[in-house]
Amino acid sequence: MRDNEHWDLVIKPKSNWLDINFADLWRYRDLILLFVRRDFVAQYKQTILGPVWHIIQPLFTTFLYAVVFGEIANLKTDGSPRPLFYLSGIIMWNFFSGCLLNTANTFIANAGIFGKIYFPRLVIPISTVISNSIRFGIQFFLLIDFLLFYIFVRDIHISITYYVLYVPILIIIMGVMGLGFGIMISSLTTKYRDIALFLGFALQLLMYLTPVIYPASLWGKYQWVMDINPMTPIIESFRHAMLGSGHFDMTGIIYSGIFSIVVFLIGAILFTRTEKTFMDTV
């Protein structure tokens, strides 16, 4: 007998490689926004400074780096004022590592909710990335304030070029890459918790392999390390667009873009495979 009836929902074993139900995600858009709100509100409840922490944290790190890597280690900054150089690197890196770290525990941290109710699991990582984008937005304005201070008060010449128009693209690539790695790791950690323990260490290592606290030109004959790191062209180009230092690397950006899409697709495949049965292994 043929079944010609219309069914709103068919529950079946995991099958497709990449099975993202966009209509479903759209239906839960309110939930995404509520999660974003929850993240913001809950994070700074019972703090005095509240969201000001979003600004304090990069400021403090910038100060720390300027002292340790600037004054003491005396690493060059390609001619940019140190605070600008470090701040621009830090907010980009924070955005990436925030997207990655906060999505990497999606399954473990939400096992309680996931075990009781269905909603598209991607809602959580997506809302995390939105939260991080908002935080990045706040920090970006901090960077602009710094820029204006240096241009108008300190009278330092900073050449801002039309490359600024590429900044949104750079940010999107960074976000997609963080999300891709994050959901990939979140899927793997449901089986092997070791990865979560290793993650903080790995990210720190990766930061030192990325031109966050030094310019890409520092590596000299080990330049290839910089070249294969997909984060390099993003941060370098971001600095070039905002501060005029370093160089703008179009090929590098394309490489990073493709890299981020591949990472995201692998992440999404793992994620959709995991979300259906992870409750059995968690």
Partner 1 sequence: MSNTVIKVDNISKYYRLGVVNTGTLKDDLRLRMAKMRGKEADFYKIGEDRSTDSDFMWALNDVSFEVKQGEVLGIVGKNGAGKSTLLKILSRVTAPTSGNIKVKGRIASLLEVGTGFHPELTGRENIFLNGAILGMSKQEIKSKFDEIVDFSGVERYIDTPVKRYSSGMYVRLAFAVAAHLEPEILIVDEVLAVGDAEFQAKCLGKMKDVSGQGRTVLFVSHSMAAVKKLCTRAIVLKKGKITLDSDVISGIEDYLNTGVGVSDEGIIPDNASSYTTGDAKFKSIVVKNKKNESTNTLYYEQAFTVELELELFRDVEKAIIDFSIGNFENRFSYTSTFEISKNPIDLKKGTYTLSIDIDPKLLPGNYNFYLGVHEMSKVSITLDMVERIKIITVLPITENNNIRYPLDVSLGNIRIDGNWKINKQL
CB 267 within 8 A of CB 183: yes
- Give 70-75's long-range contacts (Cβ < 8 A, gap of 24+): 75/213, 75/214, 75/218
Nearer to partner 1, 14 or 76 (CB): 14
Query: Which residue in the block uniquely carries the two structure tokens 């004022």?
Result: 81
Strand ranges, E, within 25-171? none
Compare residues 62 and 272 and give the one whose CB is closer to partner 1: 272
Q: Please report where in the chains the tokens 């693209």 appear, as a residue.
A: 169
Tokens 């392999």 belong to 209
- Decide if residue 115 touches partner 1 (CB under 8 A): yes
Q: Which of 5, 22, 153, 155 binds partner 1 (CB under 8 A)?
A: 5
Q: Which of 152, 159, 251, 280 binds partner 1 (CB under 8 A)?
A: 280
Nearest distance in Å: CB 33, partner 1: 8
- Give residues with Cβ within 8 angstroms of 77, minimum separation 6: 70, 85, 86, 214, 215, 245
User: Is position 193 an interface residue for partner 1 (rule: CB under 8 A)?
Assistant: no
Binders of partner 1 in range 29-88 (CB under 8 A): 30-31, 34-35, 37-38, 41-42, 45-46
- Binding residues for partner 1, rule CB under 8 A, total 37
Nearer CB in complex with partner 1: 42/72: 42
Burial class (CB in 10 A: 0-12, 13-18, 19+), 189: buried
Pick left, alpha or beta for residue 79 (phi over 0 → left; psi -120 to 50 → alpha; otherwise beta).
left
Q: In this chain, which stretch among 3-11, 50-58, 77-85, 142-150 interacts with partner 1, using CB under 8 A?
A: 3-11
To the nearest whole angstrom, how small is the minimum distance from the Cβ of residue 23 to partner 1? 14
Residues binding partner 1 (CB under 8 A): 3, 5-14, 27-28, 30-31, 34-35, 37-38, 41-42, 45-46, 112-119, 191, 276-277, 279-281
